[in-house]
Structures are given as structure tokens and as C-alpha cells.
A and B are shown apart, each in its own frame.
Chain A
Amino acid sequence: MGNTELAHTEVKNVVRKRRKKLNSDGKWGLVMVAPYLVHFVVFVLGSLLASLYFSFSEYDILNPPKWTGLENYTKLFNEEIFWKALGNTLYFAVLFVPLQTIFALILATALNQKLRGLKLFRLAHFLPVISSWTVILYVSDAFFNTRFGLANDFLNRMGLEPQTWLQDPHLVIPLLVLIAVWKGIGYIMVIFLAGLQNVPSDVYEAAEIDGAGTFRKFMNITVPLISGTTFLVVVLSTISTFQAFEQIYVMTGGAQDATAAGGPNNSSLVLMIYLYREGFSFLRMGYASAIAWVLFVLLFILTIVQVTLQKKWVHYE
């Protein structure tokens, strides 16, 4: 591999430039991280830059890429379906992030008490986290299958009209969000639990002496004191929604037909699914790379906004 050799010389170059500043400990440090650096340069930075190059070219995998300048990007922004996918992605994020954060915090607070069988409860909420999406698909199908599902059975018993659930263009994203929250909440809960355990108990005791009730304590002590954790959770969940793929793929068509993922009328088509479909099903890698870079820029801007806003509400001790 020519690339690896090149990567080696690059690392050496960097080392040489820094030599003056480094003492022997520093050199050893660099040697120790060299394997990681090589890996990073070849497999992370290398692929990143390659995809940036592809995004400016026409590339069908089978033939070498042809430079086409901004064509992929102009096409992208003029494509109705791209805007639909972007809209769906944002819709998913706007529902998912607050819902998961709030419920996970409430759950974590509840499970931070001294309860009988506490570990069992925590375990129960963490179980969906370790299940694969394919397993969750079968569980959710037991609920939302239009012919045999419990949900329609319930509606039927209530004398209501059956619904098409995941096949309904208006219901599909809210439902996916609910299922995603159910699956992901245990993980976020654990992060919150760690945060909660760092809140000193004397603050609560002082508040109790001042006559604060449970709700006051929660709003005026817990919430501000774990705002650093909340910030982390919000940033992580936002990123994960933009990268959401597996769930939407298996639950809205992909498990049956790879090109059909994206739900009824593309109503659950998010950017990642769109990217996959264009790149891997239709061999338009250049175009798919452009989608990836737009996604990256979007996430980058969003994260900067979140970091800027954090000054207003996040308190570090």
C-alpha cells in the first residue's frame, strides 16, 4: 500500500517539525500514538478527503471518478427529494432530542432514589439499548402490524377505525421517534445517573431546611447542577439523530427491499437513507458524497450554535 508509506513519511515530517520543542518523553509519546496516528491519517482523514474529492466528481464505483465541479451540489439543492429528506431529518430531531432528554432525566431522577429492586428497574430500562434494531423491529411489528398488531386490536375493541401506523405518511416519523426514545432512553438515563450522583447532598439538605418541596428541589437544584450533563446529552442525541439509519432502514422498508427504505412516499426518508440509496443502490457515489458533506456542514453549524448557546444555560461548578 503506497498510502501507508506516505502516511509514515507524513508522520515523520510532523515529528521533525516539532523535534525542537519535544523532550524525550514527548518523543516516546509520539511513538506510542503513532499506530493510532497512522490509522487516523489513512482510514479517517484519508477517506474524509477522498469523499470530499468524490463530492466534486461523477463516480459510479465501477469507473474512475470524473471531475464535475459543483454539479453534484447544484443538483442536490435543486432536488425536491433532498429538501424532503432534510425536512424529515429535522422533524425527527426536533421531536426526538427534547423528548428523549426530558424523559431520560425524569427516569434517572426516579431511579436515583433508594428503592427496593432499584437495580432491576435500571436493568429493565437498559435492556432495549443492548438489543439490535432488527429485534426491535419484530417487537414493534407485534404492536403496529396493520393486520395482527396489538395497537389495531386495541382500537378495534374500542370500536375505533384501524390505523396503518408505520405505513401512514403522517404517523411514521412520530412513531419512529417514540420507538427510538423507548430504545435509547436507558443509555441516556445512565449518563444522567452519573451526573446526578455528582450533585452534593448538602445542597438538598439546605434547601429542605429552607422549606423547598420536591418539585422546587428538582427545578432549582437538580436541573441547574446537572446542566453540564444535559448539554452533553443534547449534543450527542442531536448528532445521533442526524446519523440515524439502521432503525429507519429496517422499519420502513429496507428489511424487505433495499431500494424501498424510506417509508410511504419517502415520508421517513432521512438524509442518511437518501445517501445510502443514491450511493450504494444507484452507484452515484459522487452525489452521495455531496450529501455527506452537506450533512457534515449542517451538523457542524448546529453544534457551534449549541456550544454558543450553552453559555446561557449551562453551569459548571
Chain B
Amino acid sequence: MKHLAFKRGALILAVLMLSSILLSACSGSTKKEEGEVSPGDKKQEQVELRLGYYSSAQTDAKMQELVKKFQDSHPNIKVKTESAPYGQFFQKLDTQIAAGNAPDVWLSDGVLVPKYAERGALKDLTDLIGKDLKHDDYYGLDFNKDVNGKYWGVPQGIQIGVLYYNKDLFDAAKVAYPTTDWTWDDLKAAAEKLTLDTNGKYATDAAFDGKKVKQYGLTFFSITEGWMPVLKSFGGGVLDPTLQKSIINSPENKKALDWIVDGMNRHLLPTPADLKSFQSNMAPFPSKAAAMRIGIYARTMDANNAGLNYDVTLLPKGPDGKRFSPVIANSWVINKKAENQIGDAAWEWVKFWATTDEAQKEWASLGEAVPVKKSVANSDQFLNGKPANKKAFLDSFDFAGTLDVNAVWSEWVGKFNDSINRAFQGEIPVDQALSTADKDVQQVLDEFYKKK
């Protein structure tokens, strides 16, 4: 009996709760509007700016230093920083945006800018950039330009892809260093001479055991450091210029994937499963288990920390001489809700970051990214140091592009990998992988863009 009474009580509670949720859902929207009106009207000299960024211990210290300099030159702005490690930062950010209390300006991973822009969380910066930033003075402003010509962020620094190679491993195998004339086939021919099994036999040797590879010719991981540069330099790609339509099922892509799959079948490149035996997908090159890597600028840090004797050069050409260098432009973006003085203060911060030589130099000294300001990037401060041929990063801007980034980027990359990885593991033929990837990716795109 007691049990029954409890059940009845619980049921009543449930009904009440449901009605209260419906009520609060209805009333919630009006409350928000009231809240928005009040702070804007107040005339205040002092503005508090909420600045969000993801960081490691190393970058956090530098960022605090720069925030202090900014406050010194902008005495009316008080910056309140909100930082967290990468994963937590973005998880928290999503919740903050939903609750309407995201930071006024934050650092967004380059691949996530459209995710926020197309869901209406960001301020359109087109006019501000046109007014205050000289287009030709900067690298990569256009990497944040959308299909309609609008700008949603200003790069904080640029990650751009080049070919990394380990000189010691090349010397040991008596292979000539990569040149700017290399095609992907030249790379593969070199990779064969650089892939080594646990018995010390190179892949060119008949006794080579592909099941026990100790050192790969080229490490290969997912999109940026994997298939995207290959696909695009073979003349293929994933999305058309509108970024809403898949162009996956093409003869160019087939050729590019055949090139990759052949490399994996011959164990010159690790398959996705092979990569899992490493501590991280990024580990093979710094741990000397790969002679070459398609790497973005940020990878100089782990290569330098590992004390590698390495250098960089341009990524190889495709069969028709086309090149492609993948770019991720991590960017400052401004909250759509940051208006009036707060909006101005937010833009001041972005401007400070992009235009001040000091800020650019300080950040470049971390070795995290290529500076956006061309004068700083082309100065000795950036070009000196390891790797010797840093100029390759700047030269790569001539044929650089983003990773077909749109609002559902991580989702379509996931779907694309699902199919393509099966071809990489030799479970399905390339044709089938391409047609399923095409279908799955288009479905993801339609689900988001057709509904809008």
C-alpha cells in the first residue's frame, strides 16, 4: 500500500514539474529581453571585457602578459580572462552561449568559427575589418570569409601545412632530402627507401616484413595531416565552393585515394589502426618512428622539444602540378551580444592583437603559430631559429586553403573518415568508400542547410 501511495505522489510531482517546465519555458524568453536592455544604457567610463581563450600552462603566462600590456594602453578597459584547456573550454563555451553569458570576445579554433557564426552566436566583423585593418598587411584574413563575403573573425595566428622531414633518418637511409620539385610519387619513392622493419630491413628489400614496421616513410593522420592535402593537390576535394554540396565521388579523388591506399598496403604509411599503437596520433614524427610528416606550423614545437634534426619544405605537387597547403586560422571572434562600449572594447582587443608589433612578436616567440601581420612574419625574429627553412611556411600561403570548414565540419569529417578508413584498412574498395562517403556527407550537409 505504501508503495502505491508513493507512486501516486511521484505521479503528481511529475505532472506538476512538467507544467512548471512549460511555464518557465514560456516565461524565460521575456526575462532575457528585460535583462538585455538595462546594462547598455548605463554610461560608464570603465568597461569590463570578458576575454575567453583556451590555453596550456605555457601559453597562459604569455597571454596574461599581453593582457596586462593591453590594459596599460587602454586604461578604461578592464579585462577579465576566462581560460581552460582546449576540450573543457569549448564544452563550457557551448553551455555559456546557450545561457546567454558567453565571453565578449573569445579565441576560437579556426575549424569552429563557422559552427558559431552560422548558428548566430557571432558578430559580423566585415565593416570593422574594412575600416581598421589594411587587408594587404595581413596573412589569412580571408580564411574567415564565408560564402557571402562576410568576415566572422580575425586570425590570432595561422597554422599552415608543409612537409616535415627528419634529416637523420634520411641520412641513415642515404636518401636525398625532399625538394620543392617533388610530386607525391617522388615522395612515395623516397618513403619506400625510408620505411624500416624491426629487423632493420628497408621496404625496398625483399625480406622486408610489413607487419613489423619500426619506422614509416610518411606518417598519415586524418584530415589536416592526411587526406585533405593529397585530395586537393590531385585536383579533388570534399565540398564545392558553396560548402553545402559534396564533390567526393570524383575521378580525381579516386586517384588520390588509390595513391594513399597503395602506400598503406605497402606499409609505407601507417593505417588508422597502426596509428593507435602510438601514444597519440601526433607521436610518430617526434618519436622518430616516421621520416616525414605533413605538418602544420604548431608541430615545430614538438619536433623542437624532441630535439629532432629536421627541416621543412613545401608540400609535394599533384600529378598536374597543383599544390595545396591546409590552413587552420585560430581566430578572435566577438560575441553577437557584445554591443556599445563592450563591443568597442572587444574590437579594441582584436585590433591590439593584430596591429601591435609587440603583441605579434611576443606571441610568435612561443612558436605556436605564424604571425598574421606580414611585417612581423617576414622579420628575422620569426624566420630565425629552428627549422632552418621557416620561409617555406610563408611561401605556402600562395596555395593555401582551409579544410572546407563549415557549420557541420566535425560531423562530416567524422562521416568521411568512417568510410575512408575502411578503405585504408583494406576492407572495402576505394570506389565503394567514395560513394558511401559522398552519400553520408551529403546527408549531414542537407540536414543542417536544408532546414535553415
Contact = CB atoms under 8 A, between A and B. Distances in A.
A146 B276 contact: yes
A50 to B, nearest CB: 6
Interface residues of A, number: 45
A41 B13 contact: yes
A161 interface: yes
A34 interface: no
A209 B119 CA distance: 78
Contact of B422 (A45, A46, A265, A280): A265
Interface string A1-18: 011001100100110011
A18 B10 CA distance: 13
B91 A6 contact: no
Contact of B14 (A45, A53, A161): A45
Interface size class of B (residues with CB under 8 A): 35 or more
B305 interface: no
Contacts of B222: 257
B12 A63 contact: no
Given A2-B27, A145-B277, A10 B17 contact: yes
Contact of A264 (B273, B411, B451): B273
B280 interface: yes
A164 interface: yes
B95 A61 contact: yes
Contact of A14 (B12, B95, B408): B12
Can you list the 9 inter-chain pairs with the closest CB atoms, starting with the nearest? A167-B273, A6-B20, A146-B277, A147-B277, A10-B16, A282-B411, A62-B119, A61-B98, A62-B97
12 contacts: A6-B20, A7-B17, A10-B17, A13-B16, A41-B13, A58-B451, A146-B273, A146-B276, A259-B413, A264-B421, A277-B414, A283-B115
Interface of A: 2-3, 6-7, 10, 13-14, 17-18, 41, 45-46, 49-50, 53, 58, 60-64, 145-148, 161-162, 164, 166-168, 253, 256-260, 264-266, 277, 280-283
Given A13-B12, A49-B18, A62-B116, 14 more contacts: A7-B17, A18-B9, A41-B13, A45-B14, A46-B17, A62-B119, A63-B98, A146-B273, A253-B276, A265-B418, A281-B414, A282-B410, A282-B411, A282-B414
Interface of B: 9, 12-14, 16-18, 20-21, 23-24, 27, 29, 87, 91, 94-95, 97-98, 115-116, 119-121, 211-212, 222, 272-274, 276-277, 280-281, 408, 410-411, 413-414, 417-418, 421-422, 425, 427, 451
